[in-house]
Amino acid sequence: MNTLEYITKILEDREDMLINTSNKIWKYAELSYQEFNSQALLCEVLKEEGFDVEVGVAQMPTAFVASFGEGGPVFGFLGEYDALDTLSQEAGITIRKPLEEGGAGHGCGHNVLGVGSLGAAIACKEYLKKNNLEGTVKYFGCPAEEGAGSKQFMARAGVFEGVDFVYTWHPSDINNVQSDSTVAIMGANFSFKGITSHAGSTPHLGRSALDSAELMSVGVNYLREHIIDQARIHYAYSDVGGTAPNVVQDRAKVKYEVRAPKVKQVNELFERVVNVAKGAALMTGTVMDYEITMAFSDYIPNKALAEIGDEALKEVGPPRWDDEDYFLAKSYLTSFNEDTQELAREKIELRYGEDKVEEIFGKPLDPIIHSFDKNNKSYQSGSTDVGDVGYTVPTLNFQVATACIGNVGHTWQMTGQAGSRIATKGMFIAAKAMALAAIKTFERPDVIVKAKEIVAKQNGGVYNCPLPDSVTPPIGKY
C-alpha cells in the first residue's frame, strides 16, 4: 500500500464521521467569533483522535490549536468554520429557499474547508503512528475569516512559532494549487459625534454626524479615481444616528475597508481615507474618531511548497463527478442571472478553449487538475488572513472544486452547494491532497529549508503584523 492508498483508507474509514461533522457545521452556520458549537464539535473529534487541544488562543474564545506527536518537523493545517450573515439556504436546492429567513449560511464553504483540513490532519497523525516517526501535526482552528480575521492575531501572539510548514485549501470552482496572490486589507470603524437639535425650528443649533458620514462617502468616491487599479474601497453604515428625520443626528458610524496588493500600499491608502474623514468632520463642525479593527497581509504562494503540492494534487486527481453532480451544478449555474452566466462562459473559454464552451457549460464541474503557474504575478481582488500565516511560516493554499464553474461566492447558491454532495466530494480530494503534500514535504528537509528561505526573503527575517499592537480581536465590535 503506497502513501496515497494509505491516506485514502484512513479517510474512507472515517467517511461518515467527516461528512456528519461537515453537515453539522453547515447547519450551525455561526458568524465570526460566535462559532462555539462548530469549535466544540471539531475539538471533540480531535480529542477522540488523540490530539491535545488548547482553546481560546490569542485572546479569541473560538480559536484553538490541536497537536499530536512530538519533535520535528512540525507541520500544520488551517481550519475555518465561520459563516456569513443573511445567506441561509437549503442544501442542494437551486431556487432561493432560506432555512431561516435572514439567517446565516456557509456562503464560502467553510464547513467543508474546516473538515477537509481536519481529515488531512488525522491522516497525517495516523501516518506518523503507523511508521513510528517523530514529528508533530497541528490543526489550527481559525475563526472569523469572514470578519476581522484571526490568523493575524494568532501570528502576532506567536501561535505559529516553531512550525515548519502549513497547508490549507479553499472551496472553489477549479482544481489547482493557487498561483495568484491575494491583496492586503485594512478595516476601521469611523465614528462622528455631533449635536442634536430640532431639525425644523432650530437646525442651526445642531451639528449633524450623519452629514459628516455622508460627506465622507462623497469624498471617498472622488478619491476612487486617484488610486491604483488593483485597490478597492468598501463601506457600510453601522449606525445612522436614529430614525427620526426631524432630529439632527448627533452620532453616526461607518465601516470602511481598503484593499491593495501590498501592506505598504494599504497603509498609504488608508491614511488618505482618514484624511477625507477629517475633512468631513471639519466641514460639519463634528468630531471624528476611528478605530482600526482588522488588517490582513497579502497572500503569496510559497513556490517551494507549490512544487510538492502540485505533484500531490495531480497524484490524487480531480473529483469523480457523475450525472447527478453535473445536473445539480448546471441547475445552480442557470440560477444565476444572464450576466453571471456569460462570465461563466468566458471563464470556460479561457480555461478549456473555445471549442469546449458548450460542453463544459452543460456539465459545469471542473474535470481536470490545472498545473501550478510558477510565472503568475497576478492578484485576486479578495483578501484572506492566510496571508499573515504565509508571512510567518511557509504556507500553501489548494483550490478544489466544490461548486459549479462560474459560481459566485458569498451567495445563497454557494450556501446550497456547500451543503451538497458536490462540496463533499471536493472536500475529500482536498483532504487527500493536503495530507499527501504534507507527508511528501515531511520527507524532504531540503524543500523545508528552501521554503523557509522564501519566507525570510518575503518578510525580511521577521513577521510584522499589519495591525498596531494596541488592536485586539474586535469581538462584538465588527
Q: Which of 240, 261, 296 is where one domain is finished?
A: 296
Are residues 444 and 340 part of one domain?
yes
Are residues 165 and 84 part of one domain?
yes
Residue 70 sits in a domain of what CATH number?
A: 3.40.630.10
Residue 142 within any structural domain of the chain? yes
pLDDT in tens, 256-309: 999 999 999 999 999 999 999 999 999 999 999 999 999 999 999 999 999 999
Nearest to 124 by CA among 460, 459, 438, 469: 438
Q: Which of 296, 320, 336 is where one domain is finished?
A: 296
Are residues 58 and 144 part of one domain?
yes
Residue 283 sits in a domain of what CATH number?
A: 3.30.70.360
Say how many domains are in the chain: 2
What does pTM read for this prediction?
A: 0.94
- Judged against a pLDDT cut of 80, whether residue 478 lies above it is answered with no
Are residues 348 and 451 part of one domain?
yes
Q: How much is the average pLDDT of 99-112?
A: 98
pLDDT of residue 381: 86
Residue 141 within any structural domain of the chain? yes
pLDDT bin (cut points 50, 70, 90) of residue 476 is: confident
**Distance of alpha carbon 339 from its chain centroid, rounded?**
25
Percent of the chain with pLDDT over 70: 100
Q: How much is the average pLDDT of 168-177?
A: 98
Residue 255 within any structural domain of the chain? yes
pLDDT bin (cut points 50, 70, 90) of residue 449 is: very high
Are residues 142 and 192 part of one domain?
no
Q: How much is the average pLDDT of 5-17?
A: 98
Residue 64 within any structural domain of the chain? yes
Are residues 170 and 58 part of one domain?
yes
Are residues 304 and 277 part of one domain?
no
pLDDT in tens, 180-192: 999 999 999 999 9
Are residues 258 and 204 part of one domain?
yes
Q: How much is the average pLDDT of 139-150?
A: 96
Are residues 176 and 319 part of one domain?
yes
Residue 476 within any structural domain of the chain? no
Are residues 373 and 339 part of one domain?
yes
The range of the structural domain enclosing residue 199 comes to 184-296
Output the CA angle 403-408-413, nearest 5 degrees.
65
Are residues 89 and 41 part of one domain?
yes
- Per DSSP bridges, beta strands 379-380 and 165-172 are unpaired
Question: Over the chain, what is the mean pLDDT?
Answer: 97
Under 8 Å CB-to-CB from 162, ≥6 apart: which residues?
74
pLDDT of residue 331: 98
pLDDT bin (cut points 50, 70, 90) of residue 369 is: very high
Residue 423 within any structural domain of the chain? yes
Are residues 198 and 100 part of one domain?
no
Check whether the bond before 468 is cis (ω within 30° of 0).
no
Residue 273 within any structural domain of the chain? yes
Determine contact, residues 182/380, Cβ cutoff 8 Å: yes
